[in-house]
Structure 1
Amino acid sequence: MTAQTILITGCSSGIGLACAIGLRDRGWKVFAACRQQVDCDRLRAMGFDAPLIDYTRTETIHSGLNEVLEATGGTLDVLFNNGAHGLPGAVEDLPTDALRSIFESNFFGWHELTRCLIPVMRTQGHGRIVQCSSVLGFVTMPWRGAYNATKFALEGLTDTLRIEMRDTGVKVVLIEPGPVTSKIRENSIPHFEKWIDWENAPRKEEYEQKLLQRLYHSSGPDQFELPADAVLKKLIHAVESKRPRPRYFVTTPTYIMATLRRILPTRALDWVLSRG
């Protein structure tokens, strides 16, 4: 029997890498995409097909996908959109161009790759599009406005797509992790340093006392943090079950926040989230 095929983005580390290894071990044919060639080369040395796909560079979205489709004979069973980065900082200190930049990598690139694959899945009569969102796709936390915005946008677009694709054989799924072991903190530092002029911000003291300490000095795993394999377990169900759920929560905080969002008035929920 021919192995099922999946394209996973953001496989250099964290969730993407864990899912690529885990699904390969289950017999899947995994295309483990990265945005930097050095990471693609490392994954190829691990035995993966590793196309270069950088969501901010349209040409790599098309060339990387073409590489996958050439290898499969023009089909693909699953797309797992995963690669993203953070941009910490207060919303009032966030330049509009910075917001445009993070939307390119966390939202617009995902949409472009997804749109390129939908005709393939329509033609073959089946497919699954799995989006790695976040608990921050349905609740917000301070200092994370840019990332919150991209994930809220992703949730809205994905919910719409799921409804629109109901009669096509293409199933659309959201995975919503909370704190999961990854390099998102370290990877967000260059974006923070490029865009946020915190030294001249009205919240300078808050940056010094709160954000900078957390950003530059790891204090170990967060409370309730789970390894990236926790996402793999939900992804397996999303891609292998006959009737995948529309949403999969990962980590205790995700379940808690979903409950609080449902039962608390907005002001009370704002107070809870402001503590984070």
Structure 2
Amino acid sequence: MLTGCSSGIGRDAAIKLSERGWRVFATCRKAADCTSFEANGIESFPLDHADTESIATGVREALGRTDGNLDALVVNGAHALPCATEDVPRDALREIFEVNLFGPFDLINRVIPAMRAQGHGRIVNVSSVLGIVAATFRGPYSGTKFAMEGMTDSLRRELTGTGIHLSLLQPGPITTRIRQNAVPHFERWIDWETSALRDDYETKLIPRLYAQKEKPDRFELPPSSCTSKIIHALESPRPRARYRVTTPTYLAEALRRLLPTRIADRIVAGW
């Protein structure tokens, strides 16, 4: 079972896992995207991280189709809210944490009993390089991913001896629609014109947010680079706790571990 399969990482993983012989449940927030999967022979139904009942219904659907068994869960759905942290309204924080953190762990906690009963299972949480190092104008998204990393570490240790393995996928720049999908959230929540950092919005954030990409960003890789790591996490006898994808994630980990905070701040300020 995978979430966030409308495009990008989730869609590529669903298709590739199906090709490898997995019985895939590719869930999407929009019913129209589910219909697209069904038309191509992949089972699909709606699941929205922001909706508790949608999560409960999705889990019941998956377990109902498999007589209560579920070998793997890949939790991928998320959105971004690019902005200065001081400009984030409380309700905007609630929204992004519901989608990126509360929903994923609600889903995981509903699946774990079935995995405990069968004595095995694999769970992959899709985090981010921004869950390793926080960058400017990405505070809300980084907050959700730092929290995901911490809760995943705790849960992984709590599941020791159960046969359930939990891994984190940490992508850097990947060819997805996360930037385009962030625009409606930015326009809904951020009053940048009255911000103390208006100049930074006008010269840095907004041009990048609305730019039409003509070529990949530096170090950007296709979603398939994540799929190969997901496959290892699901199929290897010894899945890793963390799977880093793209050069920036390795650099971010080194930055976090090796450099004094003040030096790291200067480096990250240029990202």
TM-score using structure 1 length: 0.97
The alignment status of 1:243 with 2:243, answered yes or no, reads: no
Q: Deviations over 1:146-197 (max 9, x none)?
A: 0000000000000000000001111110010000000000000000001000
Cα displacement string for residues 109-136 of structure 1 (whole angstroms, at most 9, x for unaligned residues): 0010000001000000000111000111
Partner deviation per Cα, 1:229-251 (whole Å, 9 max, x = no partner) = 00001011100000101000000
Q: Which moved more, 1:258-267 or 1:223-232?
A: 258-267
Q: In the alignment, does 2:132 pair up with 1:132?
A: no
Q: Within the alignment, does 1:51 sit opposite 2:45 as a pair?
A: yes
> What CA deviation, in whole Å up to 9, does each residue of 1:66-105 have, x standing for no partner?
1111111110000000000000100010111101110000
Q: What SS does the corresponding residue of 1:79 show, helix, strand or coil?
A: strand
Instruction: Indicate the SS of the match to 1:29.
Output: coil
Runs of 4+ in 1 over 4 A off after TM superposition: none
- RMSD after superposition: 0.7
| Matching residue of 2:269 | 274
Query: Equivalent residue for 1:110?
Result: 104
Give yes or no for the alignment of 1:260 onto 2:259.
no
CA distance in 1, matches of 2:159, 2:49: 23
1:226 to 2:224 alignment: no
1:65 Cα deviation from its structure 2 partner: 1.2
2:24 is paired with a residue whose SS is strand
Q: Give the letter for the 1:245 counterpart.
A: R
CA contact (8 A) 1:77 1:121 kept: yes
- CA distance in 2 between partners of 1:14 and 1:218 (Å): 17
Distance in 1, matches of 2:23 and 2:260, equals 46
Corresponding residue for residue 6 of structure 2: 12
Where in structure 2 are the equivalents of 1:22-41 lying within 5 Å? 22-41=16-35
Aligned to 1:205: 199
Aligned-partner residue type, residue 232 of structure 1 = T
The match for 1:69 among 40, 63, 74 is: 63
Deviations 1:31-90 (A, max 9, x none): 000011111111111211112100111111011111111111110000000000000100
Count of matched residue pairs = 270
1:181-192 residue pairs with structure 2 within 5 A?
A: 181-192=175-186
Q: Secondary structure at the match of 1:8?
A: coil
* 1:182-227 Cα distance to aligned partner (Å, 9 max, x none): 0000000000001000011111111010111000113431100000
CA distance in 2, matches of 1:61, 1:41: 18
Q: Distance in 2 between the 1:151 and 1:110 partners? A: 11
Instruction: Tell me the amino acid that sits aligned with residue 73 of structure 2.
Output: L
Q: Distance in 1 between the 2:147 and 2:241 partners?
A: 16
CA distance in 1, matches of 2:58, 2:268: 39
User: What amino acid is aligned across from residue 146 of structure 1 in structure 2?
Assistant: P
What SS does the corresponding residue of 1:32 show, helix, strand or coil?
coil
- Corresponding letter in the other structure for 1:233: S
In the other structure, the counterpart of 2:85 is 91
Report the AA paired with residue 223 of structure 2: A
- Percent identical: 53
SS state of the match for residue 175, structure 1?
Answer: strand
Q: Which whole-Å CA distance do the structure 1 matches of 2:18 and 2:37 have between them?
A: 12
**How far apart are the structure 2 equivalents of 1:154 and 1:22?**
25
Q: State how far apart, in whole Å, the 1-side matches of 2:212 and 2:177 are.
A: 11
Q: Which amino acid aligns with 1:35?
A: R
Structure 2 length-normalised TM: 0.98
Question: Which ranges of structure 2 fall in alignment gaps of 5 or more residues?
Answer: none
- Structure 2 CA distance, aligned partners of 1:33 and 1:138? 27
